[in-house]
Amino acid sequence: MDAVLLGIVAVAALVAAVAAVAAAVLAYRLGRDAGAASEQASHAAAAAARAEASLSAVMSAQAQAQTSLAVLSRHAAGASAVDQERFDALSREFSRTDAKLDDVRREVQAQLGRSRESVDARLAEMRSAVDSQLGAIRQDNSQQLDRMRATVDEKLQATLESRIARSFKQVSDQLEAVYRGLGDMQGLAAGVGDLKRVLGNVKTRGILGEVQLGALLSDVLAPDQYLQNVATKPGSAERVEYAVRIPVADGEPVLLPIDAKFPGDTYERLRAAVEAADADGASAARRALEQRIKQEARDIEQKYISVPETTNLAILFLPFEGLYAEVVNMPGLLESLQREYRVSVAGPSTMAAILNSLQMSYQTFAFQRQADEIQRVLAAVKAELPRYQAALQKAYDQINRAGSTVESIMTTRTRAMERKLRSVTALDDAAEAEQVLGLELDGATGDGGLGAGEPLAVQADVEHGNDEEGDA
């Protein structure tokens, strides 16, 4: 029993020693590797704390072993001398082990202190290095931010200046356009004032309508298709402003009188009443305008219409579309003017349409006249055609007779001469033959040996041949 207890105590002491040595080695390694990084330093500190806890556990185990040894000592007091000696040996062994453990504890504590100091120093170095690096990074970031701020400020300044310059340019262009518009408005206002002055005078109002009517006529018709300031009634001194010449089939063209009228005062009162929403005033102004138009139509009918020198219809030209619209909108006025005074009312647009239709009638009449001329030419050609056919037949007969004579010359006479000349030997030299026959002069004419007198010779031969044929 005592031996078992002693073995247990020895094993516990050995385990405690081994644990202490392992803790010391672990603390040493952790202390050696503590400078790797701040995270490893924290791990080393934790390992040192665990080593201290293990050493405390070993110390408590040693205390428990000593307590057990004391108990065993008291228990072995009554044992034999041999057991006493063993017990003493064990006591001495425990004492040595206790001394070794104390040495190990002191060494571990020293190693832990050195490791803590090394870790603290390394942590301080790392802290200073990190602080210096952070300061450098902070300074570099500050410089980068300053450069970026300067670049951004410069670009913003340039962009702002360019945009401000463009904005000022646009504003200046718009102001210039406004100034030009103001100038145009001033010119327009001056023109309106001049127009008011023109329209304020009765004579100038009439001249305005006459000028506009003349422009329409010159744009649509040819100068010889209308007359200006012409007396349409025989023996009358009244002259109409314009008269269009209407062509007829037989005789001289008849005249279509066109007179421009502009009752400006009456029309102005009507517009003022309409703008003021004065229904009574507008009605009175419309009645006055209707009476004025009828009076003008009566004057045109009495002064300018004279059938057959003129057409049985004249045209009253109103130079403004607004005035023409007011007259057209008056119920029954146009029909009354055409029925009673033989006058038709026209505005600028309708006047242009009327003149275009007259131009088409001119073209139709010209086509008809050209058709009549073509008919006369065809009739003359038809009358001449029999005489042409007779002359052509006579020429054909003469050509046939001449062909028969030539054929007889080429056949009968030529074969007769060839029979007579068969016994004659031909000259080998062509030049000598031409010289003998006297053909040099004839060859110089360039007609292949035929002279200018050949037709007469041929005719004489033909006549002589005919005589010989008759004799035969």
Give, for all 472 residues of the chain, the pLDDT tens digit: 445 455 555 555 565 566 556 555 555 555 555 445 456 556 656 666 666 666 676 667 666 666 766 666 666 555 556 667 777 777 777 778 878 878 878 888 888 888 888 888 888 888 888 888 888 888 888 888 888 888 888 888 888 888 888 888 888 888 888 888 887 877 777 766 665 555 555 555 557 778 888 888 888 888 888 888 888 888 888 888 899 988 877 777 888 899 988 887 788 888 888 888 888 888 898 889 889 899 989 998 888 888 888 888 899 998 888 888 888 888 888 898 888 989 999 988 888 888 888 888 777 777 777 777 777 788 888 888 888 888 888 888 889 888 888 877 777 777 777 777 777 777 777 787 777 777 754 444 444 444 434 433 334 443 444 444 433 3
Measured distance between the N- and C-terminal CA atoms of the chain, rounded to whole angstroms: 199
Q: Which residue has the tokens 């931010």?
A: 145
In Å, how far from its chain's centre is CA 148?
Answer: 41
Closest CA to 95 of 73, 116, 112: 73
Q: Which H or E run contains 46?
A: helix 38-75
Q: Please give the Cα distance from 159 to 163 (Å, whole number).
A: 6
Starting from the edge strand earliest in sequence, which strands make up the sheet with 254-260, in order? 226-230, 240-246, 254-260, 314-317, 343-346
For the record, the structure tokens of 246 come out as 């209407």
Mapping DSSP to helix (H, G, I), strand (E, B) and coil, where does residue 244 land?
A: strand
When computed from its CA atoms, the radius of gyration of the chain, rounded to whole angstroms, is 73
For the chain, give every domain's residue range: 2-155, 202-368
Q: Supply φ then ψ for residue 229, to 5 degrees.
A: 50, 60
Q: Please give the Cα distance from 215 to 212 (Å, whole number).
A: 5
Q: Please give the Cα distance from 406 to 314 (Å, whole number).
A: 80
> Taken in order 277, 283, 288, 294, is the CA torsion positive or negative?
positive
Q: Please give the Cα distance from 47 to 24 (Å, whole number).
A: 10
Q: Please give the Cα distance from 205 to 323 (Å, whole number).
A: 13
For the record, the structure tokens of 8 come out as 């247990």
pTM: 0.41
